[in-house]
Amino acid sequence: MSEVATHHHDDHHGAHPTGIMRWLTTTNHKDIGTLYLLFSLMMFFIGGTMAMIIRLELFQPGLQFVDPQFYNSMVTMHALIMIFGAVMPAWTGFANWMIPMMIGAPDMALPRLNNWSFWILPFAFTMLLSTLFMPGGAPAGGWTMYPPLVLQTGDAFPFLIFAVHFMGASSIAGAINVVATVFNMRAPGMTLMKLPLFVWTWIITGFLLIASIPVLAGAVTMLLTDKFFGTAFFSAAGGGDPVMFQHIFWFFGHPEVYILILPAFGIVSAIIPTFARKPLFGYSSMVYATGAIAFLSFIVWAHHMFTVGMPLAGELFFMYTTVLIAVPTGVKVFNWVATMWQSSMTFETPMLFALGFVILFTIGGFSGLMLGVTPVDFQYHDTYFVVAHFHYVLVTGAVFALMAGAYFWMPKWTGHMYDETLAKWHFWLSVISVNVLFFPQHFLGLAGMPRRIPDYAVQFADFNMVSSIGGLGYGISQILFVIIVVKCVRGGEKATDEVWEGAQGLEWTLSSPPPYHSFTEAPDPESITGGHR
């Protein structure tokens, strides 16, 4: 990233700190974006290593490599790290890098808060990862932290709670920053309905974060006081109720899944029109669909807990609202397909990942619909069908969109084209191995294999072995991504300002790489076309 540094021409602060101090004290949105993205990549590999341990143990029936307690820790930590450490910081990283450049702003609205919201993350995850070495082991009760099981966590328990608090504070600060930036820092002429869809999806994500993360903070604080201060929110002995935790948790948890996926919709809505060389079909319907999904996400939470014992009226309500989400999501998928209809497409790596996203995310959406139907959910609940579903939406959904976005903007960030041949290898190896990894898990779930168990009955052996082989393949393929990024940062073919033939938007009017301080003067309002993506 030293290339970026040499381009800065800071005229109002005098000397800049260099070396480590530059990164510790930076308030520049591009530096902070880079920090977020590198942090996220690191967490992606730590969480991925845990996934490899899980798949290794599940390669054959019986207990071979790890003891069940450690296996449960791996399942729990893998989820926490991938959700809070890999995907969420990656979206904030993209927001930091791209939103000011997309809306013609010189920087984020609150640069110092921006620095702070990144730098609490390393502390949060050091705390969380340190629990692996504590008496009683790392948290092993599942990332959903259901009491009373989670209250049996050893010394790790308060570290888990405070790590969650830190991660939450970081994402709320990031969300406030994005919303303030988009509301107040837009260049003249950049009206709301001209915003690129990535910006739109991120504002809505920001509101979801602000509305849901504090509820999680409240829920884990109740767990903390139940364990150490004698309250009885979730303890039947004191008149509380453990099921109430599930309601409060999923009131946060369902908006959370849209926090993880909405920015992906925005990125795909930027990439498909670029490589289809056509304006996005149905821009305003995309905006309204995103808003509708965000609203519905707050009234569907109990579909995660159909089997706890709800009255029929409740199960019907949550089933209908859940299935209703298919309407705005369908609007989006059809809009992407209509954008490609009769277009002149080319298939560079960002487009390949975006197409992979559209197809595979839709598979995950369909299995989600199946799970949303109450009577069917009674069979699928807590089986590998659920695991297959959320990995299709989170890996081939969110992570594929992250990869698509990284390839799409990497030439802009570094000023160099990435190695297209290696990148195509990365895509094809990923897309094949990820399906080998997760598709058989649908069958395992339908056949009744429960999730979060280190051993299984022998009839599940073949599909588990296939899945583990796919897992190893997917894990190894991601090393290619690191090689491509390093190569691209170090050098390569010089990227043009526009980078892609069909690229539209303010970020492509800047040089590649962009100057350290971009849009210190607002761009020409004539250059803001909008509506395209």
Partner 1 sequence: MNASQKKANSKTVRFLLLATVLMFGFGYSLVPLYDVFCEITGLNGKTGRIVSADVESKELYDDRLVEVEFVTSVSADLPWDFEPTVEKMLVRPGVETRADFIVKNNANYTLVGNAVPSVAPNAAAKFFNKTECFCFTKQSLEPDQTLTMPVLFVVDPDLPQEVKLLTLGYTFFESLDLASVD
Nearer to partner 1 by Cβ, of 211 and 324: the residue is 211
Please give the backbone phi and psi of residue 451, each rounded to the nearest 5 degrees, phi first.
-85, 165
Nearer to partner 1 by Cβ, of 150 and 175: the residue is 175
DSSP string, 200-234: HHHHHHHHHHHHHHHHHHHHHHHHHHHHHS---SS
Nearer to partner 1 by Cβ, of 63 and 236: the residue is 236
User: Quick check: 452 and 79 in contact, CB under 8 A?
Assistant: no
Q: Both ends of the chain: CA-CA distance in Å?
A: 29
Shortest distance, CB of residue 286 to partner 1, whole angstroms?
24
Between the alpha carbon of residue 20 and those of residues 28, 108, 180, 236, the distances in Å are: 15, 22, 29, 51
Take residue 39 and report the two structure tokens written for it.
């942090």
Look up tokens 């092993």; give the residue.
Answer: 140
User: Quick check: 223 and 141 in contact, CB under 8 A?
Assistant: no
Nearer to partner 1 by Cβ, of 251 and 427: the residue is 251
Take residue 45 and report the two structure tokens written for it.
């590999």
Nearer to partner 1 by Cβ, of 299 and 310: the residue is 310
Query: For the CA atoms of 73, 75, 76, 82, what is the dihedral angle to 10 degrees?
Result: 130
Distance CA 159, CA 184 (A): 37
User: Quick check: 163 and 472 in contact, CB under 8 A?
Assistant: no
Cβ-proximal residues to 121 (8 Å cutoff; 6+ apart), any chain: 39, 85, 89, 166, 167, 170
Strand partners, 231: none
Shortest distance, CB of residue 175 to partner 1, whole angstroms?
8
The distance of Cα 495 from the centroid of its chain, to the nearest Å, equals 28
Shortest distance, CB of residue 174 to partner 1, whole angstroms?
12
Distance CA 302, CA 312 (A): 12
Nearer to partner 1 by Cβ, of 235 and 496: the residue is 235
Sites of contact with partner 1 (CB under 8 A): 106-107, 109-110, 172, 175-176, 179-180, 183-185, 210-219, 222, 230-233, 235-239, 241, 243-244, 247-248, 251-252, 309-311
Q: Which residues are catalytic?
A: 78, 107, 143, 170-171, 254, 256, 258, 269, 303-304, 329, 332, 451
User: Quick check: 517 and 10 in contact, CB under 8 A?
Assistant: yes
**Nearest partner of 416 among 345, 473, 485, 334, judged by Cα:** 485
Nearer to partner 1 by Cβ, of 237 and 486: the residue is 237
Nearer to partner 1 by Cβ, of 243 and 447: the residue is 243
Cis peptide before 148 (omega within 30 of 0): yes
Shortest distance, CB of residue 294 to partner 1, whole angstroms?
14
Shortest distance, CB of residue 74 to partner 1, whole angstroms?
27
Shortest distance, CB of residue 199 to partner 1, whole angstroms?
15
Cβ-proximal residues to 12 (8 Å cutoff; 6+ apart), any chain: none
Nearer to partner 1 by Cβ, of 257 and 431: the residue is 257
Take residue 389 and report the two structure tokens written for it.
């579903």
Between the alpha carbon of residue 21 and those of residues 87, 303, 403, the distances in Å are: 26, 47, 29
Distance CA 310, CA 314 (A): 6
Encoded amino acid at 308, one letter:
V
Shortest distance, CB of residue 376 to partner 1, whole angstroms?
23
Nearer to partner 1 by Cβ, of 187 and 398: the residue is 187
Distance CA 363, CA 395 (A): 12
Using DSSP's 3-state secondary structure scheme, residue 305 falls into coil
- Phi-psi category of residue 516: left, alpha or beta, with phi > 0 → left and psi -120 to 50 → alpha: alpha
Shortest distance, CB of residue 215 to partner 1, whole angstroms?
4
Shortest distance, CB of residue 66 to partner 1, whole angstroms?
27
**Nearest partner of 195 among 177, 205, 183, judged by Cα:** 183
